[in-house]
């Protein structure tokens, strides 16, 4: 991206002035100059301008509530304050100037300005009498001289009241010029895209188009007799979140569901598998390989497969009298068996395992090697907010290349998207490397594999 603001991140604060409708065009101009933009709306601004238009153009969810968290759990106005190269408030209403002059951080625009070390550019717009009032004059002077803000004075012209006078928002190119001048010569503040607020899903919308992804979810149930079984606490939330996210990103998804207590999503293929052996059979069938090629590009093994099953399944219900001693044998290691079988194929699918540990994650690298997978998503299920049935997870991603990345506590859907970001980039890398014989996507994406 070229432009005078290429690589820059700008917080665009919009406050409750009629000129707020011009903010959409202002956003377009900032984007055309190459800036990444996060829109911040005061409470009043939401009544003048629709967040949807701002969201579509900025590709970021609008921050309109100082108490709201970002979709990934971070505090929005602090992230913007820390990462912004400039904060631009346009239009700045008389009420906002007064709030800012007294440091009254009750809206997200004021809070961001208070928290930032970046230059702040303010473009007021209001009725002529309001602009001329001593209170407004004093507030503007405080912002300009006391805080060092750049104030782009309003123009003289026709106003919303029908009168003509000073108070009209300065021209949009003049406001953009002021932002360009404010950042000139300053280093880019954010260390990378990870330090910015997340972009909305449409950026990822079809990045898995043509990829065949199999996801397992839920626990397996190993029967004891026609009534009882050995099960576990898995609800299937994490696997279902991965399947949904992959579907939303255009993948052809097969969800292999064990015992799942959350609703199963539509728009994907669901195959039920009650036991470890049944799940193994479903996956080996899906893997295929008669023609030397894998039937899927990636397997995300989020299911909690039971490790033991009764050696024999009673055909009639066991009576309570006399007690019961179960003779348990190990179930097949589904993931390790699929990995083993996949290794012989010309196109090897990407394999992602999960490791639910209690206490320490020290065993995970060895588990990854033992199972022969590309990455392991490990978590400590004894930690509050993480593990079975929760809506959040704190996971560490361990890769076959020895890398390990600890993520903060995040909603499961965000964890799912981050896992898929990694899956996508590894699949893209494999496509680009002829030796590994990655499968080119079936259609639609740029840069298909050289084969």
User: Which residues of this chain interact with ligand CTP, rule CB under 6 A?
Assistant: 276, 301, 303, 305, 307, 331, 333-335, 353-356, 367, 371
User: Measured from the CB atom, is 10 or 377 closer to ligand CTP?
Assistant: 377
Least Å distance between CB 377 and ligand CTP? 8
As a whole number of angstroms, the longest Cα–Cα distance in the chain is 97
Q: Using an 8 Å Cβ cutoff, are 24 and 171 in contact?
A: no
Question: What is the C-alpha to C-alpha distance for residues 132 and 126, in angstroms, rounded to an integer?
Answer: 10
Residue from 173, 177, 159, 171 nearest 17 by CA: 159
Residue 38, CA distances (Å) to 172, 198, 241, 395, 410 in order: 18, 10, 27, 28, 21
Least Å distance between CB 113 and ligand CTP? 47
User: Measured from the CB atom, is 182 or 224 closer to ligand CTP?
Assistant: 224
Q: Using an 8 Å Cβ cutoff, are 239 and 302 in contact?
A: yes
| Number of CB atoms found within 10 A of residue 228's CB | 16
379 is catalytic: no
Three-state DSSP at 366 gives: helix
Least Å distance between CB 7 and ligand CTP? 39
**Does the CA dihedral 324-327-332-335 come out positive or negative?**
positive
Q: Using an 8 Å Cβ cutoff, are 261 and 235 in contact?
A: yes
Question: Which of 15, 108, 232, 347 does the annotation list as catalytic?
Answer: 232
Q: Using an 8 Å Cβ cutoff, are 35 and 10 in contact?
A: yes
Least Å distance between CB 371 and ligand CTP? 6
Q: What is the DSSP string of 268-294?
A: SEEEE--SHHHHHHHHHHHH--TTSB-
Three-state DSSP at 139 gives: helix
Enumerate the β-bridge partners of residue 158. 164
* Helix pair angle (94-101, 134-141), 10° resolution: 50
Residue 90, CA distances (Å) to 16, 84, 108, 290 in order: 10, 16, 14, 63
User: Measured from the CB atom, is 27 or 302 closer to ligand CTP?
Assistant: 302
Residue from 302, 297, 261 nearest 279 by CA: 302
Least Å distance between CB 329 and ligand CTP? 11
Through-space distance between the first and last CA atoms of the chain, rounded to whole angstroms? 31
Least Å distance between CB 172 and ligand CTP? 53
Least Å distance between CB 363 and ligand CTP? 7
Q: Which residues does the annotation mark as catalytic?
A: 232
């Amino acid at each position: 991206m070229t432009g005078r603001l290429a690589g820059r991140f700008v917080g665009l604060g919009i406050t409750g002035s009629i000129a707020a409708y011009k903010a959409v065009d202002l956003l377009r101009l900032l984007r055309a100059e190459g800036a990444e933009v996060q829109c911040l709306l005061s409470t009043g601004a939401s009544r003048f301008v629709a967040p949807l238009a701002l969201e579509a153009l900025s590709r970021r969810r609008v921050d309109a509530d100082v108490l709201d968290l970002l979709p990934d759990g971070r505090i929005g106005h602090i992230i913007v304050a820390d990462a912004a190269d400039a904060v631009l408030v346009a239009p700045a209403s008389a009420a906002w100037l007064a709030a800012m002059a007294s440091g009254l951080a009750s809206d997200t625009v004021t809070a961001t300005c208070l928290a930032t070390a970046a230059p702040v550019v303010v473009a007021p717009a209001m009725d002529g009498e309001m602009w001329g009032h001593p209170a407004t004059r004093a507030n503007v002077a405080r912002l300009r001289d006391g805080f060092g803000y750049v104030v782009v004075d309003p123009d003289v012209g026709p106003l919303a009241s029908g009168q003509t006078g000073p108070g009209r928002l300065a021209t949009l190119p003049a406001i953009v010029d002021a932002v360009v001048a404010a950042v000139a010569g300053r280093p880019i503040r954010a260390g990378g895209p990870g330090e910015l607020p997340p972009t909305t899903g449409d950026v990822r919308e079809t990045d898995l188009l043509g990829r065949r992804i199999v996801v397992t979810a839920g626990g397996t149930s190993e029967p004891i007799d026609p009534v009882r079984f050995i099960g576990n606490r898995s609800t299937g939330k994490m696997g279902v979140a991965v399947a949904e996210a992959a579907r939303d990103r255009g993948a052809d998804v097969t969800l292999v569901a064990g015992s799942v207590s959350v609703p199963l999503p539509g728009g994907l293929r669901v195959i039920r598998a009650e036991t470890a052996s049944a799940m193994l059979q479903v996956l080996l069938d899906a893997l295929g390989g008669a023609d030397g090629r894998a039937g899927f590009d990636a397997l995300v093994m989020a299911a909690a497969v039971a490790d033991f099953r009764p050696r024999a399944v009673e055909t009639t219900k066991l009576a309570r009298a006399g007690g019961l001693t179960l003779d348990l044998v190990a179930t097949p290691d589904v993931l390790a068996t699929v990995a083993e079988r996949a290794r012989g194929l010309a196109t090897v699918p990407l394999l992602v395992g999960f490791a639910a540990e209690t206490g320490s994650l020290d065993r995970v690298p060895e588990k990854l090697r033992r199972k022969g997978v590309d990455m392991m998503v490990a978590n400590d299920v004894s930690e509050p907010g993480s593990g079975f049935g929760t809506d959040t997870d704190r996971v560490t991603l361990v890769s076959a290349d020895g890398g390990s990345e600890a993520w903060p506590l995040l909603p499961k859907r965000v964890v799912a998207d981050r896992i898929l970001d990694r899956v996508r980039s590894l699949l893209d890398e494999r496509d680009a490397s002829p030796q590994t014989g990655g499968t080119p996507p079936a259609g639609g994406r740029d840069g298909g594999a050289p084969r």
